[in-house]
Amino acid sequence: DSGVTQTPKHLITATGQRVTLRCSPRSGDLSVYWYQQSLDQGLQFLIQYYNGEERAKGNILERFSAQQFPDLHSELNLSSLELGDSALYFCASSVDPGAKTQYFGPGTRLLVL
Amino acid sequence: GNSVTQMEGPVTLSEEAFLTINCTYTATGYPSLFWYVQYPGEGLQLLLKATKADDKGSNKGFEATYRKETTSFHLEKGSVQVSDSAVYFCALISWGDDKLIFGTGTRLQVFP
């Protein structure tokens, strides 16, 4: 158990819908990262937050957004869902951006029908 | 750009066989290197890491040495077990960056 929690574990929804994925980092970690794992794209970095502020953006679609709250939990919002958004979404956390070691949650498996 | 290249899988071995999974990288500066493992139906677990040239990361019998001259970080284990069956990901974090860049993953299947 890494100490990073993600909910829900599974999510099934329809095209055009909007979902919210939630992540709680390890106790004491200030930095949160979101990654997407799909069959065609592999594991890709989406976005990073540090202490409530956006720090880096990767290959994140405009339909996707995220935020980190004062209690340091983070949410990833996916809207206007398409079939191709079906993937495993991971959250990871680290003490700070320079820590160079990220601990991953169990992931949320999203299926868009 | 920065990237990681791993050997294609699946790698199929008998229990107690020697394991090597090749990983090479392209990066500017001095990246930190990692191996993560994903067991069936689970998330990613950090297996080992190395942050500078010639460092050796080790954990649970697995080892990898950061070779700057060959830009490699090959994963090895002397005697695999059935419980080692999983997907192994090589990854890097570039100098001055925070995000992990992953290879495509290598599936290891160990049979009794």
The residue to which tokens 């599936």 are assigned: B107
Q: Specify the pLDDT at position B3.
A: 94
- Judged against a pLDDT cut of 80, whether residue A98 lies above it is answered with no
Q: Is B30 on the interface with A (CB under 8 A)?
A: no
Q: Is B51 on the interface with A (CB under 8 A)?
A: yes
| CB contacts, 8 Å: B34 with chain A | 101
Q: Specify the pLDDT at position B29.
A: 83
pLDDT per residue over B95-111, tens digit each?
888 899 999 999 999 99
Q: Do B98 and A105 touch (CB under 8 A)?
A: no
Compute the nearest-CA separation of A98 from chain B (Å). Answer: 7
Q: End-to-end alpha-carbon separation of chain B, Å?
A: 41
Please count the residue pairs, one from chain A and one from chain B, whose beta carbons lie less than 8 angstroms apart.
Answer: 52
Cα A43 versus chain centre, distance: 12
